[in-house]
């Protein structure tokens, strides 16, 4: 088993490592202008500098832990994460009840669906001017844009999940005496959970895209802001270091959500739960 894992690790790393080696060699040979594309080693050093605390540890300034987390990268990551989570909670928090209502009530569905279909194709980015007009600068317009981005995938998947609940479960539940709220909470909602979880994951992905854009316009920290700032100074190495940080953070979040989803859906046919 361990041997197999080591083997698959070699396979999955082969192409990235080879690309990095060629890139590094080309940079060192002077083939590529470092302003346009810095070498991998330069990016790495810049990333370390970005992540490291700016000043050496001084007990007078606070605890070791506070010092350790005083680096720019961790502050930016925390700021971005805070915006994503706030926006996501607002967006998904509105989308879930709306989606559940639209899924269960034909009347609500017919009332709200046209509006939803008109608004859905408008990318959140198109709301940027209005967001600034309505909410000014700082976090509020970012929350607004992110929640918009998260709202639609969650609402659409929730409606779909509720409307496609297999009729046999409802028949069985009614036969066992369930109705009204019991039918909804104990049967319809759990049956729709696989769809809802998909919506939440997609919604979080969109929220993560939107946060980077939102940070480029209205705030002065966060990973998105840092990339734009680096551009002003032609720090290509820092731009790439920022991009990599975004990628790592996104991967970490999605892995967490996927774990959560596997746990909530451990009953689901498609998922094999490891022993």
Partner 1 sequence: MSAMGANAPGAGSVPEPARPAITIRGVTKTFEAKDLGTVVALDGIDLDVAKGEFVCLLGPSGCGKSTLLNAVAGFSLPTSGSVKTDGVEVTAPGPDRAMVFQEYALFPWMTVFANVAFGLEIKGVRRGEIKETVDALLATLHLTEFRERFPKDLSGGMRQRVAIARVLALDSPVLLMDEPFGALDALTRRNLQDELLRIWSEWKKTILFVTHGIEESIYLADRIVVMTYRPGRVKKIVEVGMPRLRDVSSPEFNKLKRELTEMVMEEQRRHAEAEARLATAD
Q: Which residues bind partner 1 (CB under 8 A)?
A: 168-169, 171-178, 182, 186-187, 190-191, 193, 266-269
CB of 103 to partner 1, least distance (A): 17
The closest alpha carbon to 83, from 8, 141, 41, belongs to 141
- Which of residues 28 and 174 has its CB atom nearest to partner 1 in the complex? 174
Q: Which is nearer to partner 1, 123 or 160 (CB)?
A: 160
Q: In the complex with partner 1, which residue's Cβ is closer, 186 or 259? A: 186
Is residue 199 packed enough to be buried (19+ CB in 10 Å), middle (13-18) or exposed (0-12)?
A: buried
Q: 34 near 27, Cβ under 8 Å?
A: yes
Question: Following DSSP, what letter does each residue of 122-175 receive, concatenated?
Answer: S-GGGGHHHHHHHH-SSHHHHHHHHHHHHHHHHHHHHHHHHHTS-HHHHHHHHH
Q: CA end-to-end span of the chain, whole Å?
A: 15
State in angstroms the smallest separation of the CB of 263 from partner 1: 12
From the CB of 10, what's the least distance to partner 1, in Å?
Answer: 35
**Cβ-based nearer residue to partner 1, 29 or 168:** 168
| 185 vs 234 by CB, closer to partner 1 | 185
The least distance separating partner 1 from the CB of residue 186, rounded to whole angstroms, comes to: 7
Report the nearest approach of partner 1 to the CB of residue 270 (Å).
9
Q: How many CB atoms lie within 10 A of CB 135?
A: 16
Torsion of CA 238, 242, 243, 244, to 10 degrees: 100
Residue 265 phi/psi, 5° resolution? -105, 30
The nearer residue to partner 1, 245 or 261, going by C-beta atoms, is: 261
- Closest contact distance (angstroms) between CB of 187 and partner 1 is 7
């Amino acid at each position: 088993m361990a041997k197999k894992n080591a083997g698959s690790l070699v396979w999955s790393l082969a192409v990235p490592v080879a690309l990095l080696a060629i890139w590094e060699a080309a940079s060192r040979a002077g083939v590529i202008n470092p302003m346009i594309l810095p070498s991998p080693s330069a990016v790495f050093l810049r990333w370390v500098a970005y992540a490291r605390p700016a000043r050496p540890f001084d007990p007078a300034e606070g605890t070791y832990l506070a010092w350790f987390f005083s680096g720019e990268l961790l502050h930016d990551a925390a700021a971005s994460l805070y915006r994503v989570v706030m926006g996501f909670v607002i967006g998904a928090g509105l989308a879930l009840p709306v989606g559940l209502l639209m899924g269960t009530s034909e009347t609500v569905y017919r009332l709200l669906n046209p509006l939803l279909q008109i608004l859905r194709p408008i990318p959140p980015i198109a709301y940027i001017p209005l967001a600034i007009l309505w909410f000014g600068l700082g976090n509020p317009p970012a929350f607004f844009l992110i929640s918009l981005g998260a709202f639609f995938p969650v609402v659409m998947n929730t409606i779909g999940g509720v409307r496609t609940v297999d009729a046999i479960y409802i028949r069985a539940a009614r036969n066992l005496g369930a109705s009204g709220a019991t039918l909804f909470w104990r049967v319809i909602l759990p049956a729709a959970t696989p769809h809802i979880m998909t919506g939440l994951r997609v919604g979080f992905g969109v929220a993560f895209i939107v946060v980077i854009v939102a940070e480029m316009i209205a705030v002065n920290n966060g990973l998105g802001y840092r990339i734009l700032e680096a551009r002003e100074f032609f720090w290509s190495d820092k731009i790439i270091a920022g991009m990599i940080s975004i990628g790592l953070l996104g991967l970490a979040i999605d892995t967490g959500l996927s774990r959560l989803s596997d746990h909530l859906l451990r009953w689901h046919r498609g998922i094999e739960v490891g022993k």
